[in-house]
C-alpha cells in the first residue's frame, strides 16, 4: 500500500491549474470524528468564492459527496475538480484529521506525512516448523502468508538411533527454514522484523543473504501464539526507528552545513534546489505553514505577499510555501523527512541534502 501511496502522491504533485488558485478541492475526512465538519467548511468557502470559481466548487462538492456515499471506509482522502473532470481518492487504514482545502492543486502534505511516518515493513513470526509472514503497511496488515512443516518433535524409542533421528530432524528443519527464506526474498519491504520462540530465529538469520540481513530491524523473543502483543511491539519498534531517522536527518543536515557540503537550508535556496532537481532528501518542519506566493504561469515562488509576478507581471496566488516546495520535491523523486526538531525551525523551517551542486 505504501508503494501505491507514493505513486498516488507523485501523480497529485504534478497537477495544478495555471489560471486559478481555486480549482481543486482536497478533502481529508474521518467520518467518525465530526459529521458536521464538511457542511461548515462548504459554507465558509462558498461565502468567499465568486462566479466561475463558486460554480466549480459547488459542482466539485457534488462529486465528492457521491464518493462519500460509497463503501470507502471511515478515513478517506478525496481530490476533485469539476472544471477538469478530475477525481482521485484513497481509503486510509488509520484515523486522519478533517481538512478541506481549495487551491490551484491537490493538497498533499498530510499524505506525504503518512508515507514518511508509516513506512511498510515485513513481520516474520517463526518457529522450527511454522512461519507466518505479515506485510504491514500504514500500520495495518495488507497480506499474510503461512508456511508449516511436519517435523518430528520426539525421539521414538527403538527402531531408530538417537543420532539418526537428530540428523533427520535437523535436515527437516533446515529444509523448512530454506523455504521460509525463499518466501521472504519475494518481499520488497526495506524493513524486516523477525519474531518467535526458541533458537529457530538464530538459525534462520544465519541462512539469510547479506541483502536480507541488512533489512533486519529487530529480532524479538515471543510466544508463537501471541500475535496481538507482537503487533504492538513491532509498531513501536518501527515508530521509534522513524523518530531516530528524523533526528539523524537533521543532524546530518547540520554536519553538512558546518562542512559547507551538499546542503541548502531556508526557503529561498531550498526552493531553487528543489525546482532544479538537486534535492536528495528534503527535511521539512511538520506542522509549520508559511505564507507565500506563486506565479502559476512561470512557477516563480516567493515568501510573503505579492499581487503580481516580478518576472512576467501576471497575477499571483497565495500559497503555503512549504506545501509548494513539497510538491516540487515529489515531482523530482526526492526523499522527504518530516521533523518536529526545534533546530530545523532556526534554519528557516526547511532544508535539504543535495544530489549535486
Q: What is the pLDDT averaged over residues 236-256?
A: 92
Query: Between 95 and 328, whose confidence is greater?
Result: 328
Q: Is residue 230 part of a domain?
A: no
pLDDT in tens, 260-275: 999 999 999 999 999 9
pLDDT of residue 1: 45
Query: Between 42 and 22, whose confidence is greater?
Result: 42
Which of 114-123, 159-168, 193-202, 258-267 is the least confident region? Answer: 159-168
Q: Is residue 150 part of a domain?
A: yes
Count of C-beta atoms within a 10 Å radius of residue 28: 21
CATH number of residue 323's parent domain: 3.30.1330.30
pLDDT of residue 88: 96
Same domain, 122 and 209: yes
pLDDT of residue 279: 97
Q: What pTM was estimated for this model as a whole?
A: 0.83
Query: Between 7 and 149, whose confidence is greater?
Result: 7
pLDDT of residue 159: 53
Query: Between 306 and 18, whose confidence is greater?
Result: 306
Same domain, 126 and 194: yes
Q: Per-residue confidence at 327, pLDDT binned at 50, 70, 90? A: very high
Is the per-residue pLDDT at 339 higher than 90? yes
Same domain, 352 and 251: yes
CA nearest to 13, candidates 323, 355, 315: 323
CATH number of residue 99's parent domain: 3.30.960.10
Is the per-residue pLDDT at 123 higher than 70? yes
Same domain, 160 and 255: no
pLDDT of residue 172: 81
Give residue for cell 543536515.
253
Is the per-residue pLDDT at 45 higher than 60? yes
Q: Is residue 234 part of a domain?
A: no
pLDDT in tens, 150-177: 655 555 555 556 676 567 677 788 888 9
State the residue range of the domain holding 277.
242-357
Measured between alpha carbons, how far is 66 from 179 in angstroms, rounded to an integer?
47
CATH number of residue 136's parent domain: 3.30.420.60
Q: Count how many domains the chain has.
A: 3
Q: How would you write the chain as a 3-class SS string?
A: CHHHHHHHHHHHHCCCCCCCCCCEEEEEEECCCCCCHHHHHHHHHHCCCCHHHHHHHHHHHHHHHHHHCCCCCCEEEEEEECCCCEEEEEECCCCCCCEEEEECCCCCHHHHHHHHHCCCEEEEEECCCEEEEEEEECCEEEEEEEEECCCCCCCCCCCCCHHHHHHHHHHHHHHHHHHHHHHHHCCCCCCEEEEECCCHHHHHHHHCCHHHHCCEEEEEECCCCCHHHHHHHHHHHHHHHHHHHHHHHHHHHHHHHHCCCCEEECHHHHHHHHHCCCEEEEEEECCCCCEEEECCCCCCEEECCCCECCCCCCECEEEEHHHHHHHHHHHCCCEEEEECCHHHHHCCCEEEEECCC
Q: Is residue 279 part of a domain?
A: yes
**Residue 337 CA to chain centroid, in angstroms?**
10
Is the per-residue pLDDT at 225 higher than 80? yes
Q: Is residue 273 part of a domain?
A: yes
pLDDT of residue 352: 97
As a whole number, the mean pLDDT across the chain is 89
Q: What is the pLDDT averaged over residues 198-203?
A: 90
The cell for 87 is: 477525481
Beta strand 317-320 pairing with 192-196 = unpaired
Same domain, 198 and 265: no
Number of residues that make up the chain: 357
Q: Is residue 132 part of a domain?
A: yes
Same domain, 76 and 151: no
Residue where a domain stops, chosen among 107, 140, 170: 107
Is the per-residue pLDDT at 84 higher than 60? yes
pLDDT of residue 334: 95
Q: Is residue 237 part of a domain?
A: no
pLDDT of residue 119: 83
pLDDT of residue 151: 59
Amino acid at each position: 500500500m505504501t508503494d501505491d501511496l507514493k505513486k498516488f502522491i507523485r501523480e497529485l504533485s504534478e497537477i495544478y491549474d495555471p489560471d486559478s488558485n481555486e480549482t481543486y478541492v482536497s478533502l481529508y475526512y474521518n467520518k467518525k470524528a465530526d459529521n458536521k465538519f464538511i457542511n461548515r467548511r462548504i459554507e465558509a468557502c462558498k461565502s468567499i468564492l465568486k462566479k466561475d470559481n463558486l460554480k466549480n466548487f459547488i459542482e466539485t462538492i457534488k462529486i465528492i459527496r457521491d464518493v462519500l456515499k460509497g463503501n470507502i471506509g471511515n478515513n478517506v482522502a478525496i481530490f476533485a475538480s469539476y472544471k477538469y473532470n478530475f477525481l482521485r481518492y484513497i481509503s486510509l487504514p488509520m484515523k486522519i484529521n478533517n481538512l478541506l482545502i481549495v487551491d490551484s492543486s491537490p493538497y498533499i502534505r498530510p499524505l506525504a506525512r503518512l508515507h514518511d511516518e508509516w513506512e511498510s515493513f515485513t513481520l516474520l513470526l517463526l518457529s522450527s516448523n511454522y512461519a507466518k509472514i505479515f506485510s504491514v503497511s500504514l500500520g495495518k496488515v495488507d497480506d499474510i502468508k503461512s508456511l508449516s512443516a511436519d517435523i518430528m518433535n520426539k525421539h521414538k524409542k527403538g527402531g531408530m538411533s538417537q543420532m539418526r533421528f537428530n540428523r533427520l530432524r535437523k535436515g527437516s528443519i533446515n529444509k523448512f527454514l530454506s523455504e521460509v527464506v525463499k518466501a521472504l526474498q519475494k518481499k520488497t519491504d526495506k524493513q524486516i522484523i523477525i519474531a518467535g520462540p526458541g533458537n529457530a530465529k538464530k538459525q534462520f538469520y544465519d541462512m539469510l543473504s547479506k541483502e536480507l540481513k541488512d533489512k533486519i530491524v529487530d529480532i524479538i523473543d515471543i510466544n508463537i501464539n501471541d500475535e496481538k502483543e507482537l503487533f504492538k511491539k513491532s509498531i513501536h519498534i518501527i515508530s521509534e526507528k522513524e523518530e531516530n531517522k528524523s533526528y539523524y536527518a537533521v543532524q546530518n543536515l547540520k554536519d553538512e552545513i558546518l562542512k559547507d557540503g551538499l546542503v541548502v537550508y531556508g526557503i529561498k535556496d531550498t526552493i531553487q534546489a528543489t525546482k532544479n532537481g538537486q534535492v536528495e532528501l528534503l527535511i521539512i518542519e511538520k506542522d509549520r505553514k508559511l505564507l507565500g506566493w506563486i506565479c502559476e504561469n512561470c512557477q516563480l515562488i516567493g515568501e510573503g505577499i505579492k499581487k503580481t509576478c516580478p518576472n512576467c507581471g501576471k497575477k499571483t496566488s497565495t500559497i503555503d510555501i512549504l506545501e509548494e516546495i513539497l510538491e516540487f520535491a515529489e515531482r523530482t523523486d526526492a526523499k522527504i523527512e518530516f521533523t518536529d526538531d526545534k533546530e530545523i525551525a532556526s534554519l528557516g523551517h526547511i532544508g535539504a541534502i543535495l544530489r549535486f551542486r
